[in-house]
Amino acid sequence: MSSTISGFLAAGIAAGIKKKRGLFDLGLIYAPGGASAAGIFTTNRVAAPAVALDRERLRAGRTFAVLVNSGNANTAVGRRGMRDARLCTAAAARGLRLRPEQVLMSSTGVIGEKLPVQAVTGALPELVRSLRPDGFFDFARAIMTTDTHPKLVRRSFRLGRTRAHLLGVAKGSGMIHPRMATLLVYFLTDLAAPAPLLRRLLREAAADTLNAISVDGDTSTSDTVLLLASGRAGNEPLQAGSPAARSFLAALQETAAELADQIVRDGEGATKLFRVEVRGARTREQADRVARRIANSPLVKTAFHAADPNWGRVLAAAGSAGVAINPGRLELVFQDEAGRQRVPVVKAGAVAPGYREKAAAAILERERFRVILSLHQGRAARIISTCDFSADYVRINAEYRS
């Protein structure tokens, strides 16, 4: 798969931030001609200084570079966190002959440890020299923490006579339970579009993709999603509500959905991806609360890891979501991802007539499946994608800092 996008260069190297030598841990995206830019970020109150810095600098609606380090979140370290983020972006700006405010930054990794600024700044000359059009695979490697593989998606599409492209690069495996953004995700396009429209489209694209996944129910302090547009495709700038803007939104949603699935499938220790679909809620918010409660239940996730159709855990999780539901109306179905096999599990709040546990277990043995809970109280619905919990999840997190 080609990983180039007109108007952007990228690089990734090992700077010595991570404890294990030789692991890539410093990445850079560079737009020589600049790019319209928008972002959405974590709602965690203990947000990383890099998040605050990016929010401040994105007010201009334009940027030239994004510096990303992994292995250290540069969070919960006092005032030096913002100071160090500014020092690193200033050093990157000097290397690229930019102003500091033209450089954004993301940091991901261990919380509460000081960022090794000298390792970052000392590696910047090599990082800048490594920039190239096809450097995004190395960039994707450099932003990984507990991920098992880099995550990239590229799409080509037409807007009238214009041939346009979109590249998405992401990291994420644990501490995934986003609100308004998720993980670290970077979308790059060669289209021309104003920053306010990019921001609106990014929020809309994330709502049912990146904002509808969970691995472990923990919200990161560093969640960042950026959308940069270089304008190299030669189109007239996108306008809100236009057919071209709608076509770009569709491409953005498809790319975000594919990255979201890659993230969940690569959840720490995960062996299965399943979707929790709640139907018939009074409001979308209530459907979301019930779906997230089921998706985040350790009891549900461990049962499904063992292909144990312990449906009582699903109902118990739904009942603890803080939403008024009528137990006598609940209907639960286990279904394969394609919808070809469907096993009714609960009907009118009790075990469904003719329920066969072996058939239900066979669904849960698949790598992908769907859990559909109907509340029969309204018309609102919500789907949350998540994964199972295995013994490897405990091992990975127990050994994270060792």
Answer with the residue of higher pLDDT: 398 or 94: 94
Q: Which of 156-165, 193-202, 307-316 has the lowest mean pLDDT?
A: 156-165
User: Does one domain contain both 72 and 153?
Assistant: yes
Last residue of a domain, one of 213, 234, 265: 265
- Looking at the structure, tell me whether residues 94 and 226 fall in a common domain: yes
Q: Are residues 179 and 289 in the same domain?
A: no
pLDDT band at 110 (very low <50, low <70, confident <90, very high): confident
| Domain assignment present for 358 | yes
* Whole-Å CA distances, 189 to 65, 66, 90, 128, 237: 14, 15, 26, 21, 12
Residue 4 lies in a domain: no
- Kindly name the residue from 42, 146, 182, 255 that is annotated as catalytic: 182
pLDDT at 92: 99
Q: Is the pLDDT of residue 5 over 90?
A: yes
Q: Are residues 299 and 248 in the same domain?
A: no
Q: 181 and 42, same structural domain? A: yes
Residue 230 and residue 233: Cα distance in Å, rounded? 8
Confirm whether 252 is domain-assigned.
yes
Specify whether 167 is located in the same domain as 214.
yes
Considering the domain architecture, whether residues 334 and 385 belong to the same structural domain is answered as yes
pLDDT at 400 over 70: no
Shared domain check, 339 and 216: no
Total domains in the fold of the chain: 2
The region of weakest confidence among 208-217, 346-355, 367-376, 378-387 is 208-217
Are 241 and 301 members of one domain?
no
Any idea which of 173-182, 262-271, 344-353 has the lowest mean pLDDT? 173-182
242 and 317 share one domain: no
Return the pLDDT at 179: 43
Q: Tell whether the model's pLDDT for residue 182 goes beyond 50.
A: no
On whether both 101 and 231 belong to a single domain, the answer is: yes
In this structure, what is the dihedral angle of CA atoms 48, 51, 56, 62, given to the nearest 10 degrees?
150
Question: Where does a domain end: 203, 237, 265?
Answer: 265
Is residue 1, in this structure, part of any structural domain at all?
Answer: no
pLDDT tens for each residue of 366-393: 999 999 999 999 999 999 999 888 887 7
Give residue 320's pLDDT. 96
Q: Is residue 61 part of a domain?
A: yes
CATH number at residue 15: 3.60.70.12
- Residue 255 is a catalytic residue: no
Check whether residue 394 and residue 311 sit in a common domain.
yes
- Cα within 13 Å of Cα(127), Cβ side: 34
Domain extent for 189: 9-265
Three-state DSSP state, 174: coil
Instruction: Answer whether residue 173 is part of any domain.
Output: yes
More confident residue, 48 or 221: 48
Examine the pLDDT at 235 and tell me if it is beyond 80: yes
Last residue of a domain, one of 242, 265, 288: 265
Burial call 126-137: b when 16+ CB within 10 Å, e when fewer: ebbebbeeebbe
* Residue 3 forms part of a structural domain: no
| 284 in a structural domain | yes
